[in-house]
Amino acid sequence: MTATEIVTPPAPDPGAAPPRRRAALRRLGRSPLGIAGFTVLAVAVLAAVLAPVLAPYSPSQVHFDAPFQIPGTVGFALGTDDLGRDVLSRILYGLRASLLVGLLAIALALAIGVPLGLAAGYFRTLDAVISRFTDLMLAFPFLLLAVGLAAIRGPSLGNAALALGIAHIPGMIRVVRSETLRLKNLDFVAASLVDGASDVRVLGRHVLPNALSAVIVQATVAIPQAIIGESVLSFLGLGIQPPDPSLGTMLADAQQYAARAPWTAVVPGLAIMLVALAFNLFGDALRDALDPRSTR
Amino acid sequence: MRSYLLHRLWQSAVTLVLATIVVFLGVRALPGDPAAAFAGEERDPASLAAIRERLGLNDTIVVQYGKFVLGALRGDLGTSTRTGIPVSQMIGTGLPVTIELSVLAMLVAIVLGVTTGVVAAVRRGRPAEWFANGLALLGLSVPNFWLGLIAILYLAVGLGLFPASGFVPLGEDPLANLHHLVLPALVLGTGIAAIVMRQTRSAMLESLGADYIRTARAKGASPRAVIGRHALRNSLVVVVTVVGLQLGILISGAVVTERIFGLPGFGKMTIDAVFQRDYPVIQGVVLVTAAAYILINFLVDIAYSLIDPRIRVAGAQT
């Protein structure tokens, strides 16, 4: 597995970093798809944060007199489910949980993956150990990790985020490692070392800032995967537990009534897709902006 | 070549040993008494003591681990606490279903992914590229289990084109078997197709810009030959690796797909075991999957190094 290295073109002079980033932002601002993705994301995040204000009902409030209301019914813009719970309110709260799990998972992957990746790329002695560790983690597909965690610690939002976070650590380590391997051989790192800078200082001041673009791109790719992963886990009953709303558990419930109330299956799926699509559009635009030579 | 082979073999062996330790310790990390967990409903102290003795829980942890590994090597993965059937036998029944589903899904992914990837690269800047890119983006963003639900709702239940759930073994009736697996394979394959498409496209774009393509064109080779014989063949190296690296996604995806379509495979068995707290089954499934994953990754690396000799050199150096 050490066989595949990501080949990245050499970075320009690091002294030019700030203007380079400003130029990247300008390029990002000129990408219509990137702006569209960013807008949808901003709306989704706002809706999730403001869910308690925006939701017409509590997500678990049942209306036994109004089950299976079709979307557009007065009072229930997106209809109701088998228990008469408001689909719109549940989507807003579900979105909240999905984004939270996605961000927590990636925060964990960053917190562990970036330092390990830097260490593996910079110190040859640590590389073998960390690479074996990466291989080991890759041997457990994320769903098996989640299965194991659910078996040991019980299913919950936190354990879903933990499993998804662990699953994204190897990818993060690899990206940071290959960036570090490339950067540490550049002249300005050698110059800094000759100048008497410590390894930690070189890593923190020179390697990490220049590897940041790759890290950001990797994170934007990983977040939508984690969000979809959360919905998978909750759908299987390994993530967020009912009655707490989650887009995945909504789909699991809908499976039984889909023929009678298709919107209960269609709407939560569309919500997941829209958020993932927005992240992917934004991520693609970001990658193009940070590396104008990339062909995606 | 031989040194690279030995190097990779050694790496894989180390990873495998570490994986057995993780699985072994994972079961010991279960809350409460492992004997109680293995006993299931049984709560009688005498039988718990018997189980503890039978499981060897009175031995030191190192001896326990040794016994666990020796048992696994002999194909003894314990017995399901729910059904009383040996775990290895349960895996033996579920695995063929999952393998068939995975192979079909991979086929879908490769055919769809490579075709759209080539089209996107060749028709760069034209509507066809936008269309192919859009499809890939959708494929990456759609949760495939949701696609499965929708497919069942509209294609199976609504139009009655496919069975909504169930399974017929390949040996019993190959046509009915295929009929049951078309939707699951399409659903599982499309997500991976998106990843294959993107890699094929960027590899093709790189190939098409290379000097030997210009040479081939200058020699008067037909566009078809240039694309098929030269550019695509060289891009396939990348595609092979990408396909190999999707195994984790394939295994995870198969679990969900089986669950939705009610296929009696490995994945369904795993999820059922979690909810029934059938720890020997969970342990066996995790161990077998990890071992299979390590083995397949090893084979992919070897295949890759056979296709592209440069990898061997780079691999032996790190």
Q: List, for residues A193-223, the tens digit of each pLDDT value.
A: 888 888 888 888 888 888 888 888 888 888 9
Mean pLDDT in residue range A62-90: 81
Neighboring chain B residues of A130 at a CB cutoff of 8 Å? none
CA distance A18 to chain B (A): 29
* Residue A295 predicted with pLDDT over 50: no
Residue A108: predicted pLDDT:
95
Per residue in B195-243, pLDDT (tens digit) is 888 888 888 888 887 788 888 888 888 887 788 777 787 777 777 767 7
User: With a CB-CB cutoff of 8 Å, which residues 208-227 of chain A face chain B?
Assistant: 224
| Contact (CB<8Å) B141/A273 | yes
Confidence of residue A107 (pLDDT cuts 50, 70, 90): very high
CA distance B232 to chain A (A): 17
CA B27 distance to own-chain centroid: 23
pTM of structure: 0.82
CA distance A30 to chain B (A): 18
Confidence of residue B36 (pLDDT cuts 50, 70, 90): low
Neighboring chain A residues of B121 at a CB cutoff of 8 Å? none
d(CA A141, CA A167): 7
For residue B88, count CB atoms less than 10 angstroms from its CB and return exposed for 0-12, middle for 13-18, buried for 19 or more: middle
Share the mean pLDDT of chain A. Answer: 83
Residue A292: predicted pLDDT:
56
Distance of CA A241 to CAs A155, A172, B208, B255, B273, Å?
A: 7, 29, 51, 19, 18
Question: Could you tell me how many CB contacts below 8 A there are between chain A and chain B?
Answer: 159
Across the strands, what pairs with A73? A76
Neighboring chain A residues of B302 at a CB cutoff of 8 Å? none
In this complex, the residue of B19, B241, B315 whose CB is nearest that of residue A136 is B19
- Three-state SS letters, chain B: CHHHHHHHHHHHHHHHHHHHHHHHHHHHCCCCCHHHHHHCCCCCHHHHHHHHHHHCCCCCHHHHHHHHHHHHHCCCCCECCCCCCEHHHHHHHHHHHHHHHHHHHHHHHHHHHHHHHHHHHHCCCCHHHHHHHHHHHHHHHCCHHHHHHHHHHHHHHHCCCCCCCCCCCCCCCHHHHHHHHHHHHHHHHHHHHHHHHHHHHHHHHHHHCCHHHHHHHHCCCCHHHHHHHHHHHHHHHHHHHHHHHCHHHHHHHHHHHHHHHCCCCHHHHHHHHHHCCCHHHHHHHHHHHHHHHHHHHHHHHHHHHHHCHHHHHHHHHC
| Contact (CB<8Å) A144/B275 | no
Residue A216: predicted pLDDT:
87
Concatenate the DSSP letters of all residues of A166-177 into one string: HHHHHHHHHHHH
Neighboring chain A residues of B30 at a CB cutoff of 8 Å? 151-152
What is the chain A residue with the closest CA to B124? A295
What was the ipTM of the complex prediction? 0.78
B188 reaches A (C-beta below 8 A):
no
d(CA B196, CA B244): 11
In this complex, the residue of A232, A237, A284 whose CB is nearest that of residue B143 is A232
| Contact (CB<8Å) A138/B293 | yes
| Contact (CB<8Å) A269/B30 | no
Per residue in A180-189, pLDDT (tens digit) is 888 888 888 8
Q: Looking at A101-105, A288-292, B149-153, which range is the least confident one?
A: A288-292
Neighboring chain A residues of B202 at a CB cutoff of 8 Å? 295-296
Per residue in B129-147, pLDDT (tens digit) is 888 888 888 888 988 889 8
